[in-house]
Amino acid sequence: MTFELLVANVIVGFAGFVQTTTGIGFAMVAVPMLVLIDLSYAPGPALFAMLFLSVAMVAGSWQNVDRQGFSTLFPGLLVGTLVGSQLLGLLSATAFGLVFGFIVLGSLALGQMGFAPERTPAANATGGFVSGMMGTVSGIHGPPLAVLYQRAEMATARATMAFVFAFASILSLVSLHLNGFFGRDEALAGLALVPGIAVGFAVAISGRRFIPDGIARRAMLAIAAISAVILIVRSVL
């Protein structure tokens, strides 16, 4: 293992720890640091590595997945992904970043004021749609889902978001493959990151029981807010 690959595995290991503990954060933590090592790590290899993490999280907590919510969330995710891919060439990245960033921050602020959305079929479909669009444009699917599941038990939030991320990663990888951006080399680069993912996941599973749900929930919402701020700042700079 080369030094660069070792550093990349340390990065994804930490990102995997964050996501396994809070439910979100892998893309926000890992991708900016991975591209400092090698631009080729994003988006395909990082997404492929995150797919393994998402599957591992779901496999370990399948009983906690909100299956009924997912059944209404997934169609929105699929439509949002398709719409986002079509709008990429029509609207500027600045417009997307500002819109999504302020939607997430506004939703989080309302949640802190006691106006968190109920997880109705309409709210699930809307959350999935925004997540699909935001993920397609920015590579970050998590914040809209964190808003949607901010009142759920953390076990339910983590497992359901991991289930969504698994499908979102597959959709994104298929789209990248069809457009010539994900093939054998990118898949091998993603597989090379799996050892780091495995270590981060194992450490988080071992230590998660020592982290109260209230702290994990606040960390989840903080990561969602930071992601939104990063989108806004990236859009105006």
pLDDT value at position 110?
A: 81
pLDDT digits (tens, 9 = 90+) for 65-84: 999 999 999 999 999 888 87
Burial class (CB in 10 A: 0-12, 13-18, 19+), 101: buried
pTM, two decimals, is: 0.88
pLDDT value at position 154?
A: 95
Mean local confidence (pLDDT), 171-177: 85
140 contact partners, CB below 8 Å, separation of at least 6: 27, 28, 134, 227, 231
Contact 39, 46 (CB under 8 A): no
Domain ranges for the chain, please list them.
Answer: 3-236
32 contact partners, CB below 8 Å, separation of at least 6: none
**Nearest residue to 143 via CA among 156, 159, 122, 157:** 157
pLDDT value at position 93?
A: 59
Mean local confidence (pLDDT), 149-159: 94
Spatial distance between the Cα atoms of 139 and 179, rounded to a whole number of angstroms: 16
What ranges make up the beta strands (E) of the chain? none
